[in-house]
Structure 1
Amino acid sequence: MSKPMTKTQLVAALAEDMDTDKKSASAALDAIVGIITREVSNGGAVTLPGVGKIYCRERPERMVRNPATGEQFMKEADKVVKMTIAKALKDSVNS
Structure 2
Amino acid sequence: MTLTKMDIVEKISETLDLSGPEAKETMEEMLEIIKVTLASGNDIMISGFGKFQVNEKAPRKGRNPATGEIMMLGGRKIVTFKCSGKLRNQINETVE
1:91 counterpart residue number: 89
Q: Distance in 1 between matches of 2:38 and 2:83?
A: 16
2:10 counterpart residue number: 12
What is the 5 A alignment of 1:1-95? Answer: 3-66=1-64, 70-95=68-93
Structure 1: which 4+ aligned runs deviate by more than 3 Å? 65-71
Q: In the TM superposition, what is the alpha-carbon distance from 1:55 to its structure 2 partner?
A: 2.0
* CA-atom RMSD in angstroms: 1.6
For structure 1, the residue ranges without an aligned partner over 5 or more in a row are none
Q: In the TM superposition, what is the alpha-carbon distance from 1:26 to its structure 2 partner?
A: 0.9
Q: Please give the TM-score of this superposition, normalised by the length of structure 1.
A: 0.85
Identity of aligned residues (%): 28
Q: In the TM superposition, what is the alpha-carbon distance from 1:69 to its structure 2 partner?
A: 5.3
Q: How many residues align?
A: 93
Measured at CA, do residues 56 and 7 of structure 1 come closer, stay the same or move farther in structure 2, by a change above 3 Å?
Answer: same
Q: Please give the TM-score of this superposition, normalised by the length of structure 2.
A: 0.84
For structure 2, the residue ranges without an aligned partner over 5 or more in a row are none
What secondary structure does 2:48 align onto?
A: coil
